């Protein structure tokens, strides 16, 4: 597409050519010299204009080429900038992701650091506990060794003490048996004494039982004889009555004492 220049008169080139041809064929009545010079001047100007137009067209083509090159460069530059912008956007997205990942990694690092610190503290406590347990175990082993040594050293003493204990136990058993025999003898003697006492009481009881009727008969005869006697005063009668009553009371006491003695003998026999 051709563009207007400062030499452009606003008349198309075809019209300008027809005008120049018309000037070459002007009528004879006009002054020939003046028209010829004017036409020559116009032709020169036209040639100059054409040359200038050609130069301008060449220059325009050159500038169009330069503009095309610049446009291509601008287009390439724009594409490059768009590519760089896309790369920058990608880099920005990656940077955001990297920042997010970095924050996550920092949080994880802090968490891991806390866990590592807790693990180190736990390991330190376990090490302290292990050292304490080791010391306690060594102390227990030392005490056990001392106890074993004392046990080995006191084993003979233990055997001696065992023998002495056996001897003392034998002596105690012998003394216990002797005490049991003495107790048995004492009980047998008590039983024999009780049996003898019981037999004596039975003999006395049988003798008293035999003598009681005779004594009662005798006493009754004495009372009758005393009552029949004449000349006895009242004092003698009182003495006879009192003696009679005294004998009866003694007889009753004797009868009552015999069962009590038998009861005491039975109690001793039970013991």
Torsion on CA atoms 84, 86, 89, 93, rounded to nearest 10: -120
pLDDT tens-digit series, residues 54-80: 888 888 888 888 888 888 888 888 888
pLDDT number for residue 7: 45
Q: Is residue 251 part of a domain?
A: no
| Structure tokens, 201 | 């009481």
Residue range 202-239, pLDDT digits in tens: 888 888 787 778 777 777 776 555 555 544 544 444 44
Q: Does residue 89 lie in a domain region? A: yes
Which stretches of the chain score pLDDT less than 70?
1-36, 153-154, 222-271
Is position 11 within any domain?
A: no
**Residue 263 · residue 217 · CB < 8 Å:** no
Q: How far apart are CA 241 and CA 235, in angstroms?
A: 10
Q: Check residue 271 and give its pLDDT.
A: 47
Cα 173 from Cα 180, distance rounded (Å): 10
Select from 57, 67, 62, 61 the least CA-distant residue to 8: 57
Instruction: State the CB neighbour count (10 A cutoff) for residue 59.
Output: 13
Ordered alpha helix ranges (H), the chain:
13-24, 32-228, 234-270
**Do residues 6 and 59 lie in contact, with contact meaning Cβ atoms separated by under 8 Å?**
no
Contact 271, 190 (CB under 8 A): yes
In a domain, 50, yes or no: yes
Q: What residues make up the domain containing 50?
A: 39-109
Q: 236 and 226 in contact (C-beta within 8 Å)? A: yes
In a domain, 260, yes or no: no
Residue 121, in any domain of the structure? no
- Domain count along the chain: 1
For residue 81, tell me if it sits in a domain: yes
Cβ-based neighbours of 262, under 8 Å, separated by 6 or more: 198, 201
- DSSP designation for 25: T
Give the separation between CA 1 and CA 64, rounded to whole angstroms. 10
Number of Cβ within 10 Å of residue 46's Cβ equals 17
Q: What is the pLDDT of residue 246?
A: 58
Between CA 142 and CA 149 the distance in angstroms is 10
222 belongs to a structural domain: no
């Amino acid at each position: 597409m051709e563009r207007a220049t400062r030499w452009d008169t606003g008349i198309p080139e075809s019209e300008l050519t027809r005008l120049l041809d018309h000037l070459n064929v002007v009528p004879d009545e006009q002054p020939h010299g003046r028209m010829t010079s004017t036409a020559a001047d116009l032709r020169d100007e036209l040639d100059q204009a054409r040359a200038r137009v050609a130069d301008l067209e060449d220059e325009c083509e050159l500038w169009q080429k330069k503009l095309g090159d610049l446009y291509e460069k601008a287009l390439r530059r724009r594409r490059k900038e768009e590519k760089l912008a896309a790369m920058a956007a990608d880099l920005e997205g990656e940077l955001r992701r990297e920042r997010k990942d970095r924050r996550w990694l920092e949080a994880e690092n802090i968490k891991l650091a806390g866990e590592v610190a807790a693990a180190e503290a736990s390991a330190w406590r376990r090490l302290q506990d292990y050292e304490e347990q080791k010391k306690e175990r060594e102390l227990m082993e030392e005490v056990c060794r001392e106890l074993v040594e004392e046990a080995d050293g006191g084993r003979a003493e233990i055997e001696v003490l065992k023998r002495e204990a056996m001897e003392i136990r034998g002596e105690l058993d012998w003394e216990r048996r002797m005490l049991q025999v003495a107790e048995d003898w004492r009980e047998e003697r008590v039983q024999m004494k009780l049996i003898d006492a019981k037999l004596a009481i039975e003999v006395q009881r049988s003798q008293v039982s035999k003598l009681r009727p005779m004594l009662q008969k005798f006493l009754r005869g004495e009372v009758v004889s005393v009552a029949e006697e004449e000349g006895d005063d009242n004092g003698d009668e009182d003495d006879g009555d009192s003696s009679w009553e005294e004998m009866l009371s003694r007889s009753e006491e004797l009868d009552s004492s015999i069962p009590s003695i038998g009861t005491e003998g039975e109690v001793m026999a039970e013991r």
